[in-house]
Amino acid sequence: AQKITQTQPGMFVQEKEAVTLDCTYDTSDPSYGLFWYKQPSSGEMIFLIYQGSYDQQNATEGRYSLNFQKARKSANLVISASQLGDSAMYFCAMRGTQISSGSARQLTFGSGTQLTVLP
């Protein structure tokens, strides 16, 4: 079974500052993928960034970077230079590679972190 834990229900950050959203995971799969999605108040899910468990470097996409610490089973999202438009719900998710257990078939999501960027 896979599990994603996001321990921060809500976070506040000042505009132009950096913020880290925490995510820890648990899986028995030997390889897996980690994802972050953004969900604005309008409701759509927007893919932000992906990290493979065997990737040598931490993933980066523009202002988003993923602080991947495999031994700690953490995959924190770092948003640099926060903007007002970054205010949204952020979800961490993972997918395994085991066909038999079904972990490869679906993304397992955390409960999310509501980020509010203050002007």
Partner 1 sequence: GAGVSQSPSNKVTEKGKDVELRCDPISGHTALYWYRQRLGQGLEFLIYFQGNSAPDKSGLPSDRFSAERTGESVSTLTIQRTQQEDSAVYLCASSPTTLAANTGELFFGEGSRLTVL
Q: Is 110 in the site for partner 1 (CB under 8 A)?
A: yes
> Chain centroid to CA 46: how far?
12
Q: Is 104 in the site for partner 1 (CB under 8 A)?
A: yes
The least distance separating partner 1 from the CB of residue 35, rounded to whole angstroms, comes to 6
Candidates 13-21, 69-77, 78-86, 89-97: pick the segment binding partner 1 (CB under 8 A): 89-97
Nearest to 1 by CA among 32, 43, 23, 22: 32
The least distance separating partner 1 from the CB of residue 73, rounded to whole angstroms, comes to 15
| Binder among 20, 22, 24, 29 for partner 1 (CB under 8 A) | 29
Q: Is 65 in the site for partner 1 (CB under 8 A)?
A: no
Q: Is 53 in the site for partner 1 (CB under 8 A)?
A: yes
Q: Is 44 in the site for partner 1 (CB under 8 A)?
A: yes
| Binder among 69, 83, 106, 116 for partner 1 (CB under 8 A) | 106
Task: Report the b/e string of 88-116 with b at 16+ CB within 10 A.
Answer: bbbbbbbbbebeeeebeeebbebebbebe
DSSP string covering 3-39: EEE---SEEEEETTS-EEE--EEE---SS-EEEEEEE
